[in-house]
Amino acid sequence: MKEIILTVLLTLCTIFISSAQFDDRFYFPSKEWNKIENIEYDEMFFEIDSVKLNAILLKPETNPKATIIFYHGAGGNISTYINITKPLVLAGYQVFMPDFRGYGKSTGIPTHLNIAQDAQIIFDKIIEKENFERLPIIIYGASMGTQIATKIAKDNQSKIAGLILDGALSSFTDIALLSVPAEQRQMIAQYVTSPYSAKNDIKDINNLPKLIIHSKEDKSVPFTQGETVYNNASEPKEFWVYEGTHLEAAIKYPKLFIQKINSLVSSSIAVQ
């Protein structure tokens, strides 16, 4: 019996710890491109190693009051999330949306590590561009994108003005363990580690305004995970709890959504 238990444990640990197998459980890229209508935007590509990464910059009709860098969720591609970013553009923000490897027009295969490396390289490049200079930069993560958003915010605190986490996962490990039988969770959790996590990285983000958005009705990412991230964050911070489904705040409550963003940007300027 002990040998059987050990074999099962080692097998499960191998499945979860192996980066290729583990990461495949999180990313669901789509090449299907949704047409982006009634918004002016620039398209750009970044060559990193042997891959080409696509990104778009959504442009408001007036001079932008801030730049929002938007990291999307596990499914689709950047064109899938226009329903979240369009209200921001209409409110006067320019929104930079990079795609991960394998998503949309980007090549390659996504992993936790290469997404983090790519995000930092692209961040370093775009903040030097003329239309990014002298504008506050807000980092926005949606669903799975909250993990890389929090890491980028932590690693670049002096260069950004605020952080928004929408439907936040507390960690890759925490979300993975939801699909594991209850009797195995404690045992497997000892061996499953996340290369970075929102619930830990946010502890090291100081003096930056933070807006955490989550619904208690969220069936994709449990409310408790967003709550954990919020509780671990230092002031200034706000927890917007809305009624609706996963990532529905901007769609269901666009006016309040923009009010919350405007408030965060205003407080970030005050802090600076």
Q: The CATH number of the domain where 157 resides is what? A: 3.40.50.1820
Tally of domains within the chain: 1
212: Cβ contacts below 8 Å, ≥ 6 apart = 165, 168, 226, 229, 230, 233, 237, 238, 239, 240
Q: pLDDT band at residue 204, thresholds of 50, 70 and 90?
A: very high
Residue 210 included in any domain? yes
Residue 110 included in any domain? yes
Helix axes 145-155, 112-126, angle to 10 degrees: 50
Residue 34 included in any domain? no
Residue 33 included in any domain? no
Instruction: Give pLDDT tens digits for 136-169.
Output: 999 999 999 999 999 999 999 999 999 999 999 9
What is the CA angle 234-259-120, rounded to 5?
55
Residue 222 included in any domain? yes
Averaged over 230-255, what is the pLDDT?
98
pTM of the predicted protein model: 0.90
Domain of residue 107 covers 2-27+39-271
